Chain A
Amino acid sequence: MAKFISKTDLLAWLEGLMKERTLAAPIKEEGVTRFAPVKKVADIVMDPGATDFSPKDWFFPPSETLFTVSKADGKTVITPRTMEKEAILFGLHPCDGLGVALMDLPFLAEPADASYAEKREKTTLVGLACRQSRPECFCTSLGSNPFDATYLDVLLIEAGGGYIVQSKTEKGQKLLASAKLTESNVETPAPPAVNTVPVEGLVAIAPHVFNDAFWTRLADRCIHCNMCAFVCPACYCFDIRDYVGKGGVVERVRSWESCQAAGFTKIAGGYTPRPTKAARLRQRFYHKFLYMPKQLGSIGCTGCGRCVRVCPVNIDIREIITTMQKIGAKVAVGAP
């Protein structure tokens, strides 16, 4: 027997939750599906296929005010931005759950990013299992799978005209208290098959591929926009700048930034340790495949395939992994 919720009851449950909490879910605007606060549940894209942008939008938004600085009675007062209501992030796929877990690594490492930590504490993750995989998906190669509930508070698996409901966390259980769940003997469907990519051993061979001409050739066609980084659930680089608003109130604002930008590492005076396009392109993959594993304990990729989909010149992370493995294997047997 499994816990079950009908499609109508699911929407009713979400609608009820919206009264007290912010509900963020996949919403489509002008053909682009992103996680955004929901105005009415009918707007939610119930089968998001993989949103164009990742759920990091919620925890680490494109732009956010970290704190404000104002003057009161001659004193300088710094006020951090805080989150008013608890929230539900709905409709993320299992790989996106892994994405959130990866985002936790830098942001929750001590000293934790307070604004991120607060959002994580106050947000419950309600995921949707994948009905289908897409050709660019490779989540199973990175330890997740289409029905993986590991990094979610609630997982819904579509079956028998509704959803099988799974929850192992306290947060999830608490949220489900208001859901109209029934006991059902509907069978759990088989998860969809997912393409695989040879990730195993990548961290070990990565240092040997660093100076290969492959990166220069790949950078030939890279246009060095920031899209791969912006849609990535695990890319977390940022910039911080000040804004002065009405009444002289200063806002310190954090915005997405990416290692692909030429100015990313340029210091005042003009020096940059990464002056070539190839060095910048390589940085993105080395950060994911070598530096993150060494510093934070995990490869910085979920296999969601968003970067593959969004790239206008087909820089394909799967092809890069495969090529790195091939080059690495040659180095390992001592070939030139």
Chain B
Amino acid sequence: MRHLFEIYRAQLKVTTATQLQYRVALVIWMIGIVLEPVIYLVVWATVARSKGGDVGGYNARSFAAYFLVLMLVNHLTQTWVFFEFEMRIRQGTLSPLLLKPVHPVHADVAQNVTFKLLMLVVLVPVMVVLALVFRPVIHPQWWGLALFAPTVLLAGVLRFLVEWTLGLAGFWSTRVSALNQIYYVALLFFSGQVAPLSLFPHFFQVIASVLPFRWTVSYPVELLLGRLSGRDALLGLAAQAGWILLSLVLLRVIWRAGLRKYSAVGA
């Protein structure tokens, strides 16, 4: 365990050094993560105003709150392992990773965490400016405030596990990018990135709650905004925990099967 901690620390340093080499790329990426929610925010605020100030319980300022918190949660939970895996398997860069006496997932976790922390330094000031412009309001319960950080953490873990596992599809197919596209479109809608899930039809909400999507992004946002009952909040925690356990099992099983395949057909 201590050894693993040391690996993480060393990997953290390497990733930081690497990321700082690409300041321009970081800025472009930043624009991406900020721009999308801001566009939805402007659209929905306009709709709310034209409908007399309210759409499904959201007015312009609560939409602002929704999309600003979403921006933060989306950043904190997102990964790019999906793209990486395809390249790794196709270009054979996975092989050297397999020959190291440590599971490759750890390097990914460390890189992911480092990147998020680094970017937070830029994202937070941007969010402050946006808050001054759009003047969001939230009405959280005390337990909503207390549960926000832990649920974001769980959401991050869950999303990482789900996307890492899906990335393993690269062991069987050289066209993972197609799967990737489908996944991202699904994520966009089902995780509440286009609009709060409560604005969608009921059956749509059921799908979002049965699949892991809602628990990876939307749920902590709803919690902080004070839109969940105590019972729903607890159910959410249970859903996160359940999906994390299931994903862990799936990751292990699929990873093993993938490696068998990889080492059968040529690495």
Do A and B come from the same complex?
A: no
